[in-house]
Amino acid sequence: MRTSQWSAAALAAGLIITLSACAETGEGDGNGAEAASLSMLIASSSPAESGYYEDAAARFTEETGTEVEVVIANDLIQQLGQGFAGNNAPDLFYLPWDQFQTYAAQGFLEPYAGDLANAGEFLPALQEQFSYDGQFYCAPKDFSTLGLQINTAAWEAAGLTDADVPTTWDELSAVAATLTTGDQVGISMGREYARVGVFMNQAGGALIEGDAVTADSAENAEGLAYVQRLFDEGSLAFPPDLESGWGGEAFGLGRAAMVIEGPWINGAMQNDFPDREFISVELPAGPAGPSTFSFATCWGMPIDSPTRDASMEFIEFLTTDEEQLAAAAAFGVIPSTGSGSAGYADQFPENAAFVAGVDYAVSPVSFAGAAAVMTEFNSELESIGTADPQTVLSSLQSNLQAAYDSAR
């Protein structure tokens, strides 16, 4: 499932590793000084991602003399936990958006990002996503937003044109109905908060506003009711109902004419469904305006890291526009800086919609303890076709409030 790309589990299989010590010393840089040695733990989605970081590490070593060991995680969060428990955490590591608040709240992270030479170049939404108690903790390595993918063959077969690309809920309902046939549904997406939640946001809802939990608001209910209406009309089906593991598979197989996913769908279509022709556009706006989710990963560093300076130098190297665009070309991520993301939109115009979305993207709720509550909410969304939206949200309100109170 490609949606798991934003979870803790890495996709590289079968490798069991022991984390190297946080700080090691090399043989020397040839000038009588000992060279630093860094360990970096990453979760790789593909050989292309692993290969890029191995090559980038080699370039950095050639430039600075600092050796970097790239370790591919089998289970990122489990291995991080083991590393911290054994006082043997890696010098740098992938830290997903949904884990950041937990690690920061528990005092595991070094708040280094504000001291980077390029600290002010990161997109404001990403700086906010990786800030805790008003302090910018860790540098975003890349990001993604959600967009609407359209099967162009199905679109043309239904007699639709560029003028019919939906920009509102009403227009989305209309084209989804038009695209629904005996063999395909108009639209599909994961039956989870990380997809359904954008409609709650587009209706003006939020799970937390300020210090108040607002999950059971009328706006959130309106968003869920809209999704339920698409489902009841037969224009929306979720991947399991289409005998598909995720939205991209339903899309690639032609079982859904439209799907809501992020830019990772490009690689999936190239690899698994190379004949599928499609475009990606911004998500239609709801009654309160446009909204999408922003998913990001930052470069985590353990608190009081003895390799802080060398690690920061490597992070500054990795977050240059040149390196971020090289990563984008290798495995599809969007650069985390303003100039880098603009360059990405120019270089990959087919993905411009994802970059445009960052202007109004919000981060899914991610405070310490929220993950378990949202997992339960995802389970309750299994009944979205029949359940009363307000009832589902009342349960979420209660559970989220308890978790929020515990986290404060």
Please say whether the beta carbons of 140 and 259 come within 8 A. no
Torsion 129-132-135-140 (CA) sign? negative
Q: What are phi and psi of 92, to 5 degrees?
A: -140, 150
pLDDT at 35: 65
Return the number of other C-beta atoms located less than 10 Å from residue 34's C-beta: 12
The token duo for 40 is 């970096």
Q: How many residues does the chain have?
A: 408
- Give every CB contact of residue 142 below 8 A, 6+ residues apart in sequence: 296, 297, 324, 327, 328, 333, 334, 335, 336
- Give every CB contact of residue 187 below 8 A, 6+ residues apart in sequence: 172, 176, 179, 230, 235, 236, 256, 257, 258, 259, 260
pLDDT at 363: 86
Return the number of other C-beta atoms located less than 10 Å from residue 82's C-beta: 14
pLDDT at 407: 83
pLDDT at 27: 44
pTM, whole model, 2 decimals? 0.80
Cα–Cα distance measured from residue 258 to residue 280, given in angstroms and rounded to the nearest whole number: 10
Torsion 163-165-170-173 (CA) sign? positive
Task: Give how far Cα 383 sits from Cα of 162, 242, 398, Å.
Answer: 35, 16, 18
- pLDDT tens for the chain, 408 residues long, are 343 333 333 333 333 333 333 444 444 444 444 568 999 999 987 788 889 999 999 999 999 999 999 999 999 989 999 999 999 999 999 999 888 988 998 999 999 999 999 999 999 889 988 999 999 999 999 988 999 999 999 999 999 999 999 999 999 999 999 999 999 999 999 999 999 999 999 999 999 999 999 999 999 999 999 999 999 999 999 999 999 999 999 999 999 999 999 988 887 888 889 999 999 999 999 999 999 998 899 999 999 999 999 999 999 999 999 999 999 888 878 999 999 999 998 998 989 999 899 889 988 988 888 888 998 999 999 888 778 899 999 999 999 999 999 887
pLDDT at 40: 97
Q: Which residue type does 2 have?
A: R
pLDDT at 34: 59
pLDDT at 30: 43
CATH architecture, range 2-144+295-359: 3-Layer(aba) Sandwich (3.40)
Instruction: Tell me the three state secondary structure of residue 27.
Output: coil
Radius of gyration of the chain (CA): 22
Task: Summarize pLDDT for 236-256 with one digit per residue, the tens.
Answer: 999 999 999 999 999 999 999
Three-point CA angle 346, 347, 351, nearest 5°: 80
Residue 369, burial from CB neighbour count under 10 angstroms (0-12, 13-18, 19+):
middle
Half-sphere exposure of 96 (CA within 13 A, CB side): 22
Task: Summarize pLDDT for 7-43 with one digit per residue, the tens.
Answer: 333 333 333 333 333 444 444 444 444 568 999 999 9
- What DSSP designation does 355 have? H
- Give every CB contact of residue 218 below 8 A, 6+ residues apart in sequence: none
- Same fold for the pair 2-144+295-359 and 147-293+365-407: yes
Residue 279, burial from CB neighbour count under 10 angstroms (0-12, 13-18, 19+):
middle
From the list 302, 313, 327, the residue with the least C-alpha distance to 65 is 313
Question: Selecting from 3.40.605.10, 3.40.50.300, 2.40.50.140, 3.40.190.10, what CATH number does the domain 147-293+365-407 have?
Answer: 3.40.190.10
